[in-house]
């Protein structure tokens, strides 16, 4: 009996020690008192964003290629799926090349849930190795019915399937090749900003009374040979296909691009906007019928929109990768409680991310390493600020790193999945990202 009690005591003690080692309280220190905040604000206050003045008319080219594998691979979405069974529509990588004679930029979007960090790192390594100064702006469509197998971390292998080195390497090499194709086929072009209010098709899934950003935004491109291209963003989750389904699809972004091509565009690209906390509303039908309707409806919204600002033939381009400072991770599993940082880093990796800044004339693109919420955009009244200052702001998500959901701070502590398990950074980060973006946009 004494031996049994000792075993029980040792077991309970071990479990208690393990819990103490793995679990801690959420750090709710005010944002301005956090060392990472102070360091980041000093960096932004002294940040030099030097424009590259145009030395020639804008040159724009594009290319796309199919990334659907010839063999079955895992799928990435809300639930782990070890393989896909069928293909509804092929998945693509789309690349836009933009140059003003003194600066060369590429916007690269993948029909994936995220832009894989491993591919971002390999592309950056390729540029560094070959001493190439091109600027890369990464994003994804955020379809939840696409490929997995591109994250080699412990959690990545569990949540999105076995790592597929062959597909990752092939996709990386194809991107490099098609960047060159886009550059080589570029022609003198005019770029125009456009937007269209589609707020009736968006709701806030954390609180349907909270603000949303419901604008379609993007750029229209007309080249000297009369060929046209369009880049579009929208802030609504592409999660319209069955949760447990094993059919590959680009969801409504793929249907939107397909429909735009029916309207005479030679090239279309979709980039996930401020999708954190936003979802589609107002559409009937099941799965593929539904995404077809969404794509056609949003395409009509675009066709009806008027380009509000046509850039001059020659404009300046400013680009910069701005590293973000983070405190220790705060993966919350119950309100007020988190996994300790060492455990997070062992399973997922170190928190790492940047703001991707690309300004073409008076059109500013900001890429974020997260599901960034359009509620923050709406509450900050950035749409009004842009109108008052003759500026245009397009914010996208999933720029090649991922730190979870960034939502409005008043949602923090709720039990909804997006602000509980999927916020990896802790409280006050909605305000933190808001201030970082404002310093980048309003001071430059």
Per-residue pLDDT averaged across 73-84, rounded? 88
Q: Is residue 30 part of a domain?
A: no
Assigned domain for 156 exists: yes
Whether residue 178 contacts residue 64, with contact meaning beta carbons closer than 8 Å, is answered with yes
User: Can you give the pLDDT at residue 16?
Assistant: 39
pLDDT at residue 258, rounded to an integer: 95
Confidence band for 307, pLDDT divided at 50, 70 and 90: low
Q: List the domain range (segments joined by +) for residue 169.
A: 59-310
Mean pLDDT, range 391-413, rounded to an integer: 94
Please report whether residue 367 resides in a domain: no
Does residue 285 carry a pLDDT above 90? no
Residue 236 has pLDDT above 90, yes or no: yes
Q: Is residue 34 part of a domain?
A: no
Residue 299 lies in a domain: yes
Residue 253 φ then ψ, to 5°: -60, -40
Distance set, CA 184 to CA 60, 104, 134, 172, 420 (Å): 10, 12, 14, 19, 46
Picking from 126, 14, 26, the residue whose alpha carbon sits closest to that of residue 334 is 26
Is residue 36, in this structure, part of any structural domain at all?
no
Name the residue with higher pLDDT: 381 or 159. Answer: 381
Span 55-60, average pLDDT: 96
Predicted TM-score (pTM) of the model is 0.94
pLDDT-based confidence at 293, cuts 50/70/90? very high
Is residue 231, in this structure, part of any structural domain at all? yes
Number of domain units in the chain: 1
Residues 304-322, mean pLDDT to the nearest whole number: 89
Q: What is the mean pLDDT of residues 420-444?
A: 91
Contacts of 16 (CB under 8 A, 6+ apart): none
| Cα–Cα distance measured from residue 167 to residue 153, given in angstroms and rounded to the nearest whole number | 17
Which are the contacts of 378, defined by CB distance < 8 A and separation ≥ 6?
Answer: 211, 212, 213
Residue 97 placed within a domain: yes
């Amino acid at each position: 009996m004494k031996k049994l009690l000792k075993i029980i005591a040792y077991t309970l003690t071990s479990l208690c020690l393990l819990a103490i080692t793995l679990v801690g309280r959420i750090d709710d220190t005010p944002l301005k008192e956090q060392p990472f905040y102070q360091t980041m604000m000093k960096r932004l206050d002294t940040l030099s964003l030097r424009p590259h003045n145009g030395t020639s008319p804008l040159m724009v080219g594009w290319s796309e290629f199919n990334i659907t594998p010839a063999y079955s691979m895992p799928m990435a979405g809300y639930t782990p799926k070890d393989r896909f069974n069928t293909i509804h529509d092929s998945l693509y990588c789309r690349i836009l090349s933009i140059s003003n004679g003194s600066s060369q930029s590429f916007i690269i979007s993948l029909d994936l849930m995220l832009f894989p960090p491993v591919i971002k790192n390999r592309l950056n390594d390729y540029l560094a190795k070959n001493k190439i100064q091109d600027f890369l702006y990464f994003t994804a469509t955020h379809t939840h019915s696409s490929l997995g197998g591109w994250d080699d971390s412990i959690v990545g292998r569990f949540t999105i399937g076995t790592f597929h080195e062959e597909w990752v390497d092939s996709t990386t090499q194809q991107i490099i090749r098609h960047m060159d194709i886009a550059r080589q086929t570029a022609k003198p072009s005019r770029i125009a900003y456009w937007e269209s209010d589609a707020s009736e098709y968006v709701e806030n899934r954390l609180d349907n009374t909270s603000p949303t950003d419901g604008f379609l935004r993007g750029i229209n491109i007309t080249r000297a040979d009369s060929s046209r291209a369009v880049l579009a963003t929208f802030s609504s989750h592409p999660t319209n296909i069955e949760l447990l389904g094993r059919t590959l699809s680009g969801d409504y972004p793929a249907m939107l691009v397909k429909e735009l091509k029916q309207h005479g565009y030679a090239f279309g690209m979709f980039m996930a906007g401020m999708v954190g906390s936003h979802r589609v509303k107002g559409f009937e039908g099941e799965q593929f019928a539904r995404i077809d309707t969404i794509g056609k409806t949003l395409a009509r919204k675009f066709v009806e929109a008027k380009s509000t600002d046509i850039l001059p033939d020659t404009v300046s381009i400013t680009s910069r990768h701005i590293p973000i400072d983070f405190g220790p991770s705060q993966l919350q599993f119950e309100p007020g409680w988190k996994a300790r940082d060492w455990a997070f880093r062992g399973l997922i990796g170190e928190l790492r991310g940047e703001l991707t800044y690309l300004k073409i004339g008076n059109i500013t693109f900001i890429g974020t390493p997260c599901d960034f919420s359009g509620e923050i955009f709406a509450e900050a009244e950035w749409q009004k600020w842009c109108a008052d200052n003759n500026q245009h702001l397009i914010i996208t998500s999933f720029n090649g790193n991922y730190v979870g959901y960034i939502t409005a701070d008043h949602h923090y502590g709720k039990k909804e999945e997006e602000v509980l398990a999927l916020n990896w950074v802790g409280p006050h980060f909605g305000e933190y990202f808001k201030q970082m973006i404002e310093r980048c946009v309003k001071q430059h």
